[in-house]
Amino acid sequence: MRVIIGGGGGFIGQSLSKLLYKRGHKVTIISRQPGQKRITWDDVTKKGIPPCDAVVNLAGENVLNPLKRWTAQFKNEVISSRIETTRTLAKAISLSDHPPRSWTLVTGVGYYPPSRTQQYSEDSPGGDADFLSQLVRDWEAAAQLPITDPNSKTQLVIIRSGVVLGRDGGALPSMLWPFRLCLGGPVGSGQQPFPWIHIDDLCRLLCQTIEQEGKDGGVLNAVSPSSISDTNADFTRALSKALKRPAIFPAPAFAIQALLGNERAVMLLEGQRVAPKRTLQKGFTFLYPDLNSALAELLSI
Ligand SMILES: NC(=O)c1ccc[n+]([C@@H]2O[C@H](COP(=O)([O-])OP(=O)(O)OC[C@H]3O[C@@H](n4cnc5c(N)ncnc54)[C@H](OP(=O)(O)O)[C@@H]3O)[C@@H](O)[C@H]2O)c1
């Protein structure tokens, strides 16, 4: 199969591409920069997408980049890098003479309102709680274009992911150094839910979605089964145990707010208890269903 991945040169895209190559598929990346095995967003706008079997969108400016101040301009970049790229792909798919069988968008569990007690599955309502949930709502809406055509052969799958834990990118590498220096600890109170998934499981789920036959779209939560009860304090304890380092220095909420701004700090100081209910119903099996197994693999040499 030929798979086109918007933003495929990033953390998740690189792992997904490796897995797709291993499974015998061909990959073309859409990037802002031209290059080998790449096309640009301008190419897609002008000429549409090349013939392919599946399209995935992973493009998006890093929301939690601590080097970028939370200004109106940066917020707009965070929004448009997701919504405009998704809209561009949805439009290209709907105009294609040979539309792909599958169209997958990776968004986030930030769709569901932050809560320490409420439990969410794929059919729970959301999308209006705060900046992030509204962003996810609009981002997912931007993907819908092709299926407004009743004759469309393309199935849309929306993968709502938790924090992706991997060796080569995402949140984990930057969390490791304070722990290695014995300066680690929970974020804020530590009582906020911590929905997460191992990068290998996310990429396996994406592959399963891409490879499946038939029309079976909809939302899938990409979180480990233990995420329904894991808190930031649980993650801190598991990381401390895996690294054999103490975790006694909490990162106070006011410091996180000062660094990231209040609206962004919510993403670290609050969270959602999320179950991968439909994902499990579809027969997906997690290689790393709990924090201890995931961290043991990610921190092994
Ligand atoms: N990592 C996580 O924990 C996590 C969790 C939930 C959801 N997600 C979502 O999954 C997607 C992929 O995440 P990731 O961790 O792989 O991100 P990443 O490593 O930051 O890569 C995303 C890609 O998006 C492209 N991009 C960045 N800024 C852009 C902009 N302003 N306009 C257009 N394209 C831009 C870049 O590709 P080029 O430089 O080649 O253009 C980059 O390689 C993102 O949408 C993210 O929100 C991630």
Distance CA 29, CA 92 (A): 15
Looking at per-residue confidence, does 151 or 158 come out higher?
A: 158
What was the pLDDT predicted at 147? 53
25 sits in the region (left: phi over 0; alpha: psi -120 to 50; else beta) called: beta
* In the predicted structure, residue 21 carries a pLDDT above the cut 60: yes
Nearest CA to ligand 1 atom 11: 58
Distance CA 276, CA 299 (A): 25
* In the predicted structure, residue 226 carries a pLDDT above the cut 80: yes
Average pLDDT over residues 90-96: 94
Instruction: For ligand 1, say whether the CB of 32 is within 6 Å of any of its atoms.
Output: yes
Q: How far is CA 172 from the centre of its chain?
A: 14
- Residue 12's pLDDT band (cuts 50, 70, 90): very high
Is pTM beyond 0.95 here? yes
Place of tokens 């938790």: 162
**Cα 236 to ligand 1 centre (Å):** 25
- List Cα–Cα distances, 270 to 21, 58, 73, 112, 153, in angstroms: 37, 24, 24, 11, 39
Instruction: For ligand 1, say whether the CB of 90 is within 6 Å of any of its atoms.
Output: no
**3-class secondary-structure state, position 238:** helix
What was the pLDDT predicted at 285? 98
What was the pLDDT predicted at 223? 98
- Domain spans in the chain, listed from the N-terminal domain onward: 2-298
* Residue pair 15/199 in contact by the 8 Å Cβ criterion: yes
* In the predicted structure, residue 146 carries a pLDDT above the cut 60: no
Distance in angstroms between the alpha carbons of the first and the last residue of the chain: 33
Instruction: For ligand 1, say whether the CB of 62 is within 6 Å of any of its atoms.
Output: yes
Fold of 2-298: Rossmann fold (3.40.50)
* In the predicted structure, residue 294 carries a pLDDT above the cut 90: yes
- Residue 152's pLDDT band (cuts 50, 70, 90): confident
**Cα 105 to ligand 1 centre (Å):** 12
What was the pLDDT predicted at 149? 66
* In the predicted structure, residue 115 carries a pLDDT above the cut 90: yes
**Cα 149 to ligand 1 centre (Å):** 28
- Residue 148's pLDDT band (cuts 50, 70, 90): low
Q: Helix axis angle, 131-142 relative to 262-269, nearest 10°?
A: 90
14 sits in the region (left: phi over 0; alpha: psi -120 to 50; else beta) called: alpha
The residues facing 107 across adjacent strands are 160
**How much of the chain exceeds pLDDT 70, in percent?**
98
Instruction: For ligand 1, say whether the CB of 82 is within 6 Å of any of its atoms.
Output: yes
Task: Describe the strand order of the beta sheet including 38-40 as a list of residue ranges.
Answer: 38-40, 26-31, 2-6, 54-57, 102-108, 155-161, 218-222
> What's the whole-number average pLDDT of the chain?
94
Distance CA 219, CA 201 (A): 16
